[in-house]
Structure 1
Amino acid sequence: MKQRFSLIHKITAFLMLTAMFSPIFTVGATAQMMQKTSAKQLTEDQKILHVLNRLGFGAREGDVERVKAIGINKYIEQQLNASSINDQTAEAKVKNLDVLKMSNEELFAKYPNQSAVLLAVAQKNNLDKGDRAQLKNKNRVKSDEMKNTGGAVMSGDNKNADANVAQLSEADRQKYQQEIAALYREYKLGKPQQIT
């Protein structure tokens, strides 16, 4: 029985080696390799769509026809040399936007950070850090309530305020808000959210 078992192993091993190296079984692999080498060529429209997708944000209405008219190479050259593109319509839309003509310093001067304005008012009124945090937090909660209720302010205490922070009276809070509004009016400041 031992010889028979070893004979079965030998025959199985021989058949496996034959199957691995036999040209009959490698025909499928060569057919796959031949398919890879004979890749299809793209049509002109497919090339244009590919270029529009890679160099822009995809094809819009009329883009394919426009690229067909001028040619793919000329379109690519236009995209690489942006100064040659006619932007009159885009320039007409943004010519009234003053913020595009401002430097960074001018932008920060005209549209200051709201925390900086709050800090200026707090320093003027000798508010400590806890009072500033409470005022900022109350303003944020009031603003959120106005957004959630469509402009109608809900009455109620600020539940998010820390219990450790000294409580500002409603009159003080309104006074500081009026000072902040006066500061914006006096210096003709805008809020960063108003930049258009």
Structure 2
Amino acid sequence: MHPVPRPWRAPWLAGLARRALAFAVALGALTPLCAFAAEVGDTVSLPSVTLLDGRTLPAGYFRGKTVIVEYWASWCPFCAQQNPHLQKLYETTRGKPLEIVAISIDKTPKEASDYLRDRHYTFPAGMDTADWQRTLGKRKALPELYVIGRNGRILRKEVGEMFPEDVAALAEYAGK
């Protein structure tokens, strides 16, 4: 028996290697599109946010502060149940070392602004942006809430509606 000549094997192996490499490159290219989501223990640096009232909170505004970030939408029934409790938390923690910012995923700022105005919500709210998505990832459900400590570490993450007493208990994070 004669061994199979190398030139015959090489193209097949080379073709397989090229396909494997192309697959690996394609997979790597898709990684940023995959559903990244920040988790408890991760450290983040929050980006600036333009609030629906026109004010801008620069990225540095959040440094050294405990921040509660809630993602919501005007069409979300679970957000409609949770947001009154977030408003109450906002009112009871004013002046304490705790910041609240709500990030809407509505299609337009008008939808979000109208929702807040009609319900008399005064907590700071802005729109989701590419910077916020790079920082905390894409939403898996609504509402989605993060508690971020003064050092930028995510202390808590809640996906889905919280009970009123659980929202109220978030006041304990003031200063953490």
TM-score per shorter chain, which class?
under 0.3
Normalised by the size of structure 1, how large is the TM-score? 0.24
- Structure with the greater relative contact order (CA < 8 A, sep ≥ 6): 1 or 2? 2
> Which structure features the higher share of strand residues?
2
> Which structure features the higher share of helix residues?
1
Normalised by the size of structure 2, how large is the TM-score? 0.25
Higher Cα Rg: structure 1 or 2? 1
